[in-house]
Structure 1
């Protein structure tokens, strides 16, 4: 929904609003931090604009409306061409109105638009002289900016030397990816510094820092290319190129552009196509490796841009479609310590409720005690909270400049908060000394779940009964339960007892991947368990694998492999008990290849001759027909049993997309990439031999 404007009642409130907006803007553009989050700032400025529209004779000269960077910053290096901001729209109908207005301004329907992500970083102009990067200038007030040339050589995607010896200026955004931001805070904390509140603040502060004892990487994505000397033949040629062609030229010079992001800038011929791409980028926002706060739409052709012209603040041929804020400031009230099913002791932040992207956020993840220490979090802190899509809200860092001195240190537990046992603090994620037995009910309930062993009738309440009665002390004990033991429990009659025993007996035949998933090894889940099972084929091979062999499984890196191997070693006694109880320990259709010396090979365990051999398959939408009752996890298992590889996202590597009712952006992307589509019925026929 659109950002509502702040209500300004009188001239005094208007004067205060202008002052607040200027302070917030100055802090934002100087260091990326502010007492107001993006959503609150947008509401305030829209309120100022609404009040000024009704009282045009009382507009203050310092008002942020109609000014680049809200008039809060200045620069000392003049820009060759004004470096303007963008006007905003917030709703599809506002975007439609803008495209109609642009058509009237240029005198015809715009033939082509460029649609690209609005990157959440710091705008800069990079000046190249004969192919060498000589100067970096911030946007400043649009007419002049700050010289940050000391940062040359520290920004990925902005080469010191171009592929051609041309004199050009590349404009774009300097930002930190999520990975770069985490790394920057680790380095900053190691040098005794306060963690950055968010990636934009980290990029802004790092770009301006001149005398730090350390450097951290940043990334550049270009969105503009121009010539300082307008009399050259090259300038004349570039002046005729469309925006999309300019981006291709910049890329040819060796510069990162918005066309090379995870959601590349594309061209669209109609307003309907523009809106479809806007919605597609918005839907992918949570998956991106960097922050965006909107989508930029531009008239692509140079002639349309020239005809539309520019105002004092923004070009009339471009607009920013702003997305709902995913980051807001609130207060950290308390920290709870919860114990998970594997014994992990996880801190959870209790927040002063705040609305982000339509949801009221009261809790956020804090990862682990080391993370709390590194970020120097304190009770009572104002904190920046991030949430995107269905991602669990997380605290980025405290907003240190808002501290009052009343904040209190966070107390770490000295014993397990659930059972009182000791705590293993040898790793970053603390764990109860009793491990899984600390939270046996949760561990067994998870193991019996639909996507693990699928034991119908063994819900949470029944598990509690079994544990309280002393009948079950670990997962293997489920498979040795007798009829007499179950009949002794309250509300267990003959029929329910026989049904549960039949379900437990059936679980013995589940494939290895489900058994492995039921064990709940840290760092694995449903998909990873399937990959490990396909790689090694038997539980014996899995338990015998070392860290190097484990790294051959897709998605397991050098850090995760040793912990998986170590935990599997701890589980060997339980695994032996499960095998002795008759639980299956092999993966159907998987054969672990071996080299000549007997070592595990490359893990290519696709079922020979399977109809999906060598294919990467994505499932989207609602399934029907023979597939109607299959969960998404069961669909993924089916794909892999038929020799394929399941994936959750569509890319150029995707071979087939199974599109059911309601398939949206994934189907559209498959069509754009020319990827084969299949209906649920067509796919069911293709894998008929593998359907139960």
Structure 2
């Protein structure tokens, strides 16, 4: 069984005396006001939560000193209000942080109901702004924010800008649908591009963007947001039948009805709600949603667990701030505010000059973050990043941290523009600034160590014993200028290096001999052609069968390869022309330049007969644009799209995910990373998670690792 991740809550802020308490209450109230009004809080979520817990601890010890404006126990921290009354209070949720707290909470619900709760709904907690959408006879008439829970702000001017919230339902129903308005990652990027394009500062994060955009009026531009419903309730004019249904149906039934009306719900996401009966199953589902979090196209900050049946909800009741039948299982914070100390400029294996943000160390999701990725100089300019800025840093799972945007309202005036390099920081040569990603004019020659280390990597030539430290030795000794030189190394040369004994030398030479025999797809990947990677290299190699056919292909011929468009094709042709001397040296060194199982057939005329080069033996070179005949045309997975998820076992246990994808393609299939209606087969190992759920919903065929291994048995030995 997969257990749910325990979240260690950060220590509460220390509130030592009455003066510190008064200051903490004022700070928390200001932060909550800004957070719920525009999303522009001076505190990130973690800092705000710690401050409120410190206030609560002080109040528990000094109940006579509790301030009437304290945020503790109030919806939205008591910092906001509105002028549109809610038909039913729009409450917040209490939080739990561990499996033990979750078990205690479910037990408390059952004590209140006086009976076991047999059905729980488990669903993602979307990180957006709560709103109530009121429909009259199927027409969206009003949008109201949560406010203080009893009344909210009218934001009906935003109707028509929110995906998933139709202006007309599929039925002429009168009801209120509650949910979250948020920005997906793609919508957030588009919103910031529009905002900065009109002279504004970028939003710090998607929630900030949704809050600001929802309230914006009379703006020169509009940005799209997305709605996901999580509840529905009757209005005075709903009619007896619908009122009865909404009052009697289970929560899961209500949400299915809402989805049928044409409104987005979490059921359409990769982490769709489930109804479960056992606490152990709830914890397992929590772990699955948490694992899926990094790949979601929108933010979540927890998982919501609700008693599903209407009678259980009624029996458990609600408090003044939160219902007693629902709780939020909080996940670790994935974004924090810290200071941008500077920008480093690093040169990659192809000469690309990549900026990296240097940050004041901050703990995010259990690890200390000191660096964050920055895409390119144009991205720095667009985001208006400045040295000394307070910035929102985002991290999810194992993804490299990145800066969302500066927190512009926290600027003091002391921030300085980021200084861009005028010459290559690696070698001092000129910089090609004609594209968004700047590049040293020397290209690959600028950074031989990175280029050779990449070629020797596991997903390329997989040369065991050739780590970065050894590559540095070889380059510094003048023995290696590019990775073709590796295959000319002698035993005497290697023994002359520091810390290279006879055993390690012989092992490295043996590994180099093995690397010579790698398939063309690996060799092509090792070249580091811009716009290609492991998967694309396999497709190119299998399409053309030999390096010579690839080199003689023009841009039009390359576009016959799945995934290569006109622009990428031109880039590949130009790169191969630049790499021609290196390829010649590799060929001369005896490196394999063919793809096993791929046979280049040559051109075929429109009528089906052979073209001008029909006299060539099968497998010889014909027209550069003709497709290769590969094992894909006859393999057991021919015509199938296959997705792999979970931990493999048996014969597949030692294969990396790249090797699994290679196996699929060798057996005639197409590998994919996500389950959709086009997926033919899901290979599901241990802890398969949300991909298995989606496959089951779609009725996609699912195979265990041993079953799949039997299907492709004839191709396992050729996978490297």
**2:617 is matched with which residue?**
none
Distance 2:554 2:186 in 1: 28
Q: Which sections of structure 1, spanning at least 5 residues, go unmatched?
A: none
Contact 1:641/1:690 (<8 A) preserved: no
Q: Deviations over 1:493-542 (max 9, x none)?
A: 77766655554343232112111210112333223322333344443454
Contact 2:29 2:77 in 1 (8 A): yes
Q: Of 359, 376, 381, which residue of structure 2 is paired with 1:351?
A: 359
Q: Does 1:240 align with 2:248?
A: yes
Going from structure 1 to structure 2, the CA distance change for 1:511 and 1:241 (only over 3 Å counts) comes to: same
Correspondent of 1:214 among 206, 211, 221: 221
Q: 2:145 aligned to 138, 141, 161, which one? A: 138
Cα distance change of structure 1 residues 658 and 526 upon mapping to structure 2, 3 Å threshold: same
Once the two structures are TM-superposed, the CA of residue 425 in structure 1 deviates from its matched residue by 0.7
Q: Which of 615, 634, 637 is matched with 2:662 structurally? A: 637
The answer to whether structure 1 residue 2 and structure 2 residue 5 are counterparts is no
How has the CA–CA distance of structure 1 residues 650 and 111 changed in structure 2, closer, same or farther, with 3 Å as cutoff? same
Does residue 518 in structure 1 map to residue 522 in structure 2? no
CA distance in 2, matches of 1:528, 1:207: 41
Question: Does the C-alpha gap of structure 1 residues 565 and 232 become closer, same or farther in structure 2, counting only changes over 3 Å?
Answer: farther
Q: Is the 8 A contact 1:332 1:383 kept in 2?
A: yes
In 1, Cα distance between equivalents of 2:572 and 2:141: 49
Selected match of 2:539 from 507, 515, 531: 531
Aligned match of 2:274 in 256, 266, 276? 266
Say if 2:231 is the partner of 1:227.
Answer: no
Shift of 1:50: 2.0
Pick one of 294, 303, 321 that aligns with 2:329: 321
Q: In the TM superposition, what are the counterparts of 1:95-114 in structure 2 within 5 Å?
A: 95-114=102-121
Partners in 1 of 2:37 and 2:554 — Cα distance? 50
TM-score by length of 2: 0.88
Give the 5 Å matches for 1:64-75.
64-75=71-82
Aligned with 1:522: secondary structure?
Answer: coil
Aligned to 1:34: 41
Residue 644 of structure 2: aligned partner: 618
Partners of 1:620 and 1:667 within 8 A in 2: no
Structure 2 residue aligned with 1:445, among 448, 453, 462? Answer: 453
Write the mapping of 1:300-379 to structure 2, written as runs, cut at 5 A.
Answer: 300-379=308-387
SS of the residue 2:306 aligns to: strand
Shift of 1:78: 1.4
Normalised to the residue count of structure 1, the TM-score between the two structures is: 0.92
Decide which of 181, 193, 211 is 1:204's aligned counterpart. Answer: 211
Q: CA deviation at 1:214?
A: 0.8
> Does structure 2 conserve the Cα–Cα contact (< 8 Å) formed by 1:349 and 1:366?
yes
Specify the SS of the correspondent of 1:395.
strand
Counterparts of 2:113 and 2:439 in 1: how far apart (Å)?
A: 65
Displacement of 1:294: 0.6
Question: How far does the alpha carbon of each residue in 1:559-589 deviate from its partner, in whole angstroms, 9 at most, with x for none?
Answer: 7565445434433443344345443333223
3-state SS of paired residue (2:88): coil
In structure 2, the gaps of 5 or more residues are 1-6, 607-622
The more displaced of 160-169 and 539-548 is: 539-548
- Partner residue of 2:202 out of 192, 195, 208: 195
Q: Is the 8 A contact 2:556 2:625 kept in 1?
A: no
Structure-2 residue corresponding to 1:687: 713
Q: For the residues of structure 2 that align with 1:241 and 1:486, how far apart are their CA atoms?
A: 76
Alpha-carbon distance change, 596 to 202 in structure 1, aligned in 2, over 3 angstroms: farther
Shift of 1:260: 1.0
Aligned 8 A contact 2:181 2:227 in 1: yes
Tell me the residue number matched to 2:90.
83
Aligned ranges for residues 231-630 of structure 1 at < 5 Å? 231-481=239-489, 500-543=508-551, 563-590=571-598, 607-613=632-638, 614=640, 616-618=642-644, 620-621=646-647, 623-624=649-650, 626-627=651-652, 629-630=654-655
| Cα distance, 1:282 vs structure 2 | 0.7
Going from structure 1 to structure 2, the CA distance change for 1:440 and 1:310 (only over 3 Å counts) comes to same
Could you tell me which residue of structure 1 aligns to residue 176 of structure 2? 169
Larger mean CA deviation between 590-599 and 356-365 belongs to 590-599
Q: Which moved more, 1:107-116 or 1:455-464?
A: 455-464
Using the TM superposition, give the Cα deviation of residue 649 of structure 1 relative to its aligned residue in structure 2, in angstroms: 5.6
Q: CA deviation at 1:34?
A: 1.1
Of the three residues 650, 659, 675, the one matched with 2:685 is 659
1:86–1:315 CA contact under 8 A, matched in 2: yes
**Cα-Cα RMSD:** 2.9
User: Matches of 1:285 and 1:224 in 2, distance apart?
Assistant: 22
SS of 1:418's equivalent in the other structure is coil
CA distance in 1, matches of 2:485, 2:511: 15
Distance in structure 2 (CA, Å) of the matches to 1:315 and 1:116: 16
Asked whether the equivalents of residues 592 and 600 of structure 1 are also in contact (C-alpha less than 8 Å), the reply is no
- Partner residue, 2:167: 160
Deviation at 1:658, TM superposition (A): 5.5
8 Å CA contact retained: 2:487, 2:589: yes
Q: SS at 1:284's partner residue?
A: helix
> Does the alignment pair 1:50 with 2:44?
no
Residues 603-628 of structure 1 show CA distances to partners (whole Å, capped at 9, x for unaligned) of: 9966244344425152533645x555
Larger CA deviation: 382-391 vs 604-613? 604-613
Q: Equivalent residue of 2:594, what SS?
A: coil
Instruction: Tell me by how many angstroms 1:337 deviates.
Output: 0.8
